Structure 1
């Protein structure tokens, strides 16, 4: 089994570090200060994003498309796997979330 924080494709991890993992789920911590970007990465599993501290984010896909992704505190978003993208906090507040990968999904 590979280390989820290293990556096998040259892409970055989906979060800064894993805060919990078992055979069913992997939970990542994501923190982005204003102007900070989570590097280009790919989600290999379906996942939920739970905003702990809200921010105005922009998703940039591998082909250069920009998608506004505001995340109010307490919001929950489900996304399918496969997309290669990066996430940038374009707002003026720190963004904190938990990303829950569904490993058997």
Structure 2
């Protein structure tokens, strides 16, 4: 059995993956709901989504999404009540680069990912 290469960030430093959110507020066999709250300048650590997911913004902010592969970040404004759907994808980090608190609920669709029959 081979050991996978350690992950490194765009700056070459080792990366340890974190959870996709900060607190699970609901979970069953079909979905997992996370709470995420970021103050200005705060980041959600490098993470990887294994399930399709939806994000519902509860408090708006300007956010930055960095890919572990490097390159230009994606800058996104998440308005209050805004909803986005995303497929599982690359390892990334989310940073609040605005001047207001960001808060959302992230809903993982386990029934379309880890619990797909």
TM-score, normalization by structure 2: 0.80
Separation in structure 2 between the aligned mates of residue 26 and residue 34 of structure 1, nearest angstrom: 26
| Consecutive unaligned residues in structure 2, runs of 5 or more | 1-15, 113-117
Alignment of 1:4-19 (within 5 A): 10-19=16-25
Say whether 1:34 aligns with 2:52: no
Q: Which has the larger share of strand?
A: 1
Range 28-37 or range 65-74, more displaced: 65-74
Separation in structure 2 between the aligned mates of residue 83 and residue 20 of structure 1, nearest angstrom: 25
* Greater Rg over alpha carbons, structure: 2
After TM superposition, give the deviation of residue 57 of structure 1 in Å: 0.1
Alignment of 1:1-105 (within 5 A): 10-65=16-71, 66-105=73-112
| Consecutive unaligned residues in structure 1, runs of 5 or more | 1-9
Q: Which runs of 4+ in 1 moved over 3 A?
A: none
Separation in structure 1 between the aligned mates of residue 62 and residue 98 of structure 2, nearest angstrom: 5
Question: What is the root-mean-square deviation of aligned Cα atoms in Å?
Answer: 1.2
Separation in structure 2 between the aligned mates of residue 104 and residue 14 of structure 1, nearest angstrom: 17
Aligned length: 97
